[in-house]
Chain A
Amino acid sequence: MIALVDCNNFYASAERLFCPRVLKAPVVVLSNNDGCVIARSQEAKDLNIQMGAPAFLMEEQLIKNNVQIFSSNYTLYGSISDRVHATISRFVTDWEKYSIDESFLDLSGFFDLNIYRYCKLIRATVLRNVGIPVTIGIAPTRTLAKMANRYAKKERRQIGVFFLDCQQKTDMVLKYTKVEDIWGIGRQFSALLNRHGILTAWDLVHTPEDWVRKHLSVVGLRLVTELKGIPCAELETEAAIRKNIGIAKSFGSLLSKREDVAKALANYVTAAAEKLRAQGSCCSRIQVFLQTNGFRTQDKQYFQSITLQLPVATNFTPELLHYADIALSRIFKNGYNFKKVGIMLENLVPADQIQLGLYDTRDRDRQKKLMTAVDSINKLFNGKELVKYARQGTGRRWSLRRERLSPCYTTRLSDVLVVK
Chain B
Amino acid sequence: MIVGGSSPERVTRLVISEGVTINYLDIRISAGFPSPALDFSENDIDLIRELGLDKPSVYIMRVDGKSMEGKDIYIPNGAFISVDRSIKAVAGHVVLAILNQEFTIKTLLRKNGRYVLQPENPDFKPIIVSGDDELIIWGVVDVVFYRVGRKL
Contacts and interface: CB of A to CB of B under 8 A. Distances in A.
Contacts of A128: 57, 85-86
Given A373-B3, A376-B3, A419 B104 contact: yes
B25 to A, nearest CB: 21
A220 interface: no
A416 interface: yes
Contacts of A185: none
Contact of B56 (A129, A369, A418): A129
B62 A417 contact: yes
Contacts of B138: 131
Interface size class of A (residues with CB under 8 A): 20 to 34
Q: Is the interface of B mostly helix, strand, loop or mixed?
A: strand
Contact of B62 (A82, A86, A89, A419): A419
Contacts of B60: 410, 413, 416
A249 interface: no
B127 to A, nearest CB: 12
Nearest to A85: B56
A420 B65 contact: yes
A419 B61 contact: yes
B103 A420 contact: yes
B101 A20 contact: yes
Contact of B86 (A21, A129, A369, A372): A129
A244 B64 CA distance: 46
A82 to B, nearest CB: 7
Interface in A105-159: 128-131
A277 to B, nearest CB: 14
Nearest to B139: A131
Contact of A21 (B57, B61, B101, B136): B101
A418 B62 contact: yes
Interface string B42-73: 00000000000000110111111101000000
Interface size class of B (residues with CB under 8 A): 20 to 34
B68 to A, nearest CB: 9
A419 B3 contact: no
Contact of A130 (B18, B62, B65, B85): B85
B103 A20 contact: yes
B4 interface: yes
A130 B57 contact: yes
Contacts of B86: 128-129
A84 B56 CA distance: 7
A83 interface: yes
B143 to A, nearest CB: 14
Nearest to A83: B56
Interface of B: 3-4, 18, 56-57, 59-65, 67, 80, 85-86, 96, 98, 101-105, 136, 138
Given A21-B101, A369-B4, 18 more contacts: A23-B101, A83-B57, A86-B18, A86-B56, A87-B56, A89-B18, A129-B56, A129-B85, A372-B3, A376-B3, A409-B59, A413-B60, A416-B60, A416-B80, A417-B103, A418-B62, A419-B64, A420-B103
19 contacts: A20-B98, A20-B102, A21-B101, A23-B101, A83-B56, A84-B56, A128-B86, A129-B56, A130-B56, A130-B85, A372-B3, A376-B3, A409-B59, A417-B61, A417-B103, A419-B61, A419-B63, A420-B65, A420-B103
